Every structure is written in structure tokens, then in C-alpha cells.
Amino acid sequence: MNNQDLKNAISGVLVVDKPIGMTSHDVVNAIRYGTGIRRAGHTGTLDPRASGVLVILIGPAVRLSEYVSASDKRYQAIIRMGASTDTFDADGRFVRPSTVIPNVSESQFEEVLKTFVGEIEQTPPPYSAVKIKGRRAYDMARRGEEVQIAPRKINVYHLEVLEWAPPEVVVDVHCSSGTYVRSLANDLGEKLGCGAYLVGLRRTKSGRFSLRDSVPLRKLQESFRAGNWYQYLIPAAEALTDWPALELNPDQVEAVRHGHRLPKSDNLTPGINNLVRGVSMAGELVALMELDETNQEWQPKKVFFS
């Protein structure tokens, strides 16, 4: 196998601790350049001002993106009370400046914070990548056009004050994919009556991957130069460890590789969308398998093992 064939065979996950100041796309490009593998993509944009967990799929594992992207996220957000901005963060223009320190107690703040827990409707910021009739909202906002974005349903599982240092508060946010923490800060300020905006954001978890699994981008780039970056590559099968696993013997792996169905001779209960992970006895991700309930067969939906 030549060097290019070897690169084409590499599949897995790199969990990067993204530094402030880089876009998520910048990080993907750095990984493409460092590994020499063009097939790479992230599973959920992290704003340039934010740091923390950015999950990068490389090689055939990029086909897991739609499933990994939908995973829950966790953040530490620094919210400043007393003013509002048009971008809902510190980059924007003040639209509600405050001349007095907000008179909000910690108990009042926590009481209002609780109202955002659960399934709620949230309107994304006007300065966001949301598309309106094919155009990015931030492009329209920068041109001074009126931006009207329809609210969407999100889930906020947990909110907790980690540090109370008014006018700034550090909040732990556990939420569904698609949640804008900037909007949460702005909406919180509206309910408090004093305004608020996001001044710092660090993603601490994305799906099953946390900061403990991550490697700082600088350290990863050093490993590219040293040629030992493979030590940080996580097997693709681990990206969906919360999914049920169907262990396949060598004959079954060969059958699935060629798109053949397998009879359901086990008691395994499928997960989301009737899917399970088909995993080899060596722990490699072979395929995503879908249960055909009528015929009681496992149908290969996406095959990764070649």
C-alpha cells in the first residue's frame, strides 16, 4: 500500500481544543494541511470568539457528520449584565447601554435562569449563519437590512451559575444542538430588564467528547511536524458510543461490506431512527445498520469498512 492509499484508508475523529480567534473552518484547513487528508470536516461550528471542543471527522468518518452534529453540547458562558448589543456578544454595537450597575441579586438571576430550562423557542441572532431565502442573515444585517428569523424549538437541559461576579456571571449551559448561547444571554437580559450579552464562551463538551478528550491545536500541529499525530486519532466507532452496537464476525463483516442484509438473530434494541453500529470483533466501525422490522433483518445503511 502506497502513502496515498494509506491516507485514503485513515478514518476517525480528532477532538481539538480550538483557540479563540480562529474560525472552525480555519481549524479544518489546518488539519487537512497537517495530515495531507483532504476529506475532513467539523461537526458543529464554534464562533471565532469561542474556544473549546471542536470535533473533526476525517476520512470515511465524515459520513457520520449528520449523526454526530446532532449531539448535545455543553458550554461555560460568561454573560455581562447591564447592556445589550446588536450581535448579542462583545463584538457588536451597543443598542441598550446602561449607565448604572444592574441591581440584580443572585437569587433573582437564578430564578429567571430557570425559566429557560426545558423545550423553548429561541430566535437566532441577526448576525448568524442562518439562511433567509438563500442569503446568510449576517450578510443582510451588515448591509443594514431588516433581518427576521423565525424562532425554532431547542432543548436546554441544565443551567447553573458557576461564578457570581456582577455585572458578569459564569453559567454552565447544557443544551441541544442548534442552540445559540448568544441568544440565550440576550433573552436573559430582556427578562431581567437590564440587558445582557455574551463576553466569553468555551465549549466543554460535544456529544460524548469533552475537553478531556481534546488536544490543543498548537500541540496537534507540533505532532503533524513530528509525524506522530496518529496518537490523537480516535476510532470512528467511538463517535457514537451511545448507540447500540451489533458485533459482527469476519463472515458478517464481509457480507455487510457488499451490502448484504443480516438476519436479526439477537435481542439488540435499535436506537435513534432504528439504527445501530455494526462493529467488527476488533472494534472497528463497519457500518450503520437499520432494522427492517417487517423482515427482521439488519440492512446496511452506510458502510465504512473497505
Three-state SS annotation for 50-80: CEEEEEEEEHHHHHHHHHHCCCCEEEEEEEE
Would 203 be classed as within a structural domain?
Answer: no
Is 48 found in the same domain as 25?
A: yes
d(CA 273, CA 254): 24
Secondary structure of 227-287 as H, E, C letters: CCHHHHCECHHHHHCCCCEEEECHHHHHHHHCCCCEECCCCCCCCHHHEEEEEECCCCEEE
**Domain end marker among 236, 252, 281:** 236
Residue pair 95/86 in contact by the 8 Å Cβ criterion = yes
**Domain end marker among 198, 220, 236:** 236
Is 176 found in the same domain as 80?
A: yes
| pLDDT (mean) for 275-303 | 91
Residue pair 90/50 in contact by the 8 Å Cβ criterion = no
pTM: 0.87
Cell of 305: 469498512
Would 190 be classed as within a structural domain?
Answer: no
Would 215 be classed as within a structural domain?
Answer: yes
DSSP single-letter state for residue 124: P
| pLDDT (mean) for 82-96 | 89
**pLDDT higher than threshold 80 for residue 127:** no
Is 152 found in the same domain as 128?
A: yes
User: Which residues have a catalytic role annotated?
Assistant: 47
Query: Mean of the per-residue pLDDT values for the chain?
Result: 89
**Domain end marker among 236, 254, 281:** 236
SS3 156: strand
Is 82 found in the same domain as 174?
A: yes
pLDDT tens column, 36-84: 999 999 988 898 899 999 999 999 899 899 888 888 999 999 999 999 9
pLDDT tens column, 180-198: 999 999 999 999 999 999 9
pLDDT tens column, 9-21: 788 999 999 999 9
**pLDDT higher than threshold 90 for residue 239:** no
Cell of 105: 441579586
Is 290 found in the same domain as 277?
A: yes
Residue pair 296/270 in contact by the 8 Å Cβ criterion = no
Run of H or E including 16: strand 12-18
Query: Residue 57's Cα: distance from chain center in Å?
Result: 12
Would 198 be classed as within a structural domain?
Answer: no
| pLDDT (mean) for 165-172 | 96
d(CA 298, CA 143): 52
Is 109 found in the same domain as 173?
A: yes
**Percent above pLDDT 90 for the chain:** 64
Domain residues for 232? 3-70+208-236
Predicted pLDDT of residue 146 = 67
CATH number of the domain where residue 38 is located: 3.30.2350.10
Please, what sign has the CA dihedral across residues 255, 261, 262, 266?
A: positive
Is 178 found in the same domain as 96?
A: yes
Would 219 be classed as within a structural domain?
Answer: yes
Is 170 found in the same domain as 79?
A: yes
d(CA 166, CA 189): 13
Would 264 be classed as within a structural domain?
Answer: yes
Is 166 found in the same domain as 86?
A: yes
CATH number of the domain where residue 288 is located: 2.30.130.10
Is 85 found in the same domain as 177?
A: yes
Is 231 found in the same domain as 172?
A: no
Would 192 be classed as within a structural domain?
Answer: no
Say how many domains are in the chain: 3
Is 123 found in the same domain as 57?
A: no
Would 96 be classed as within a structural domain?
Answer: yes
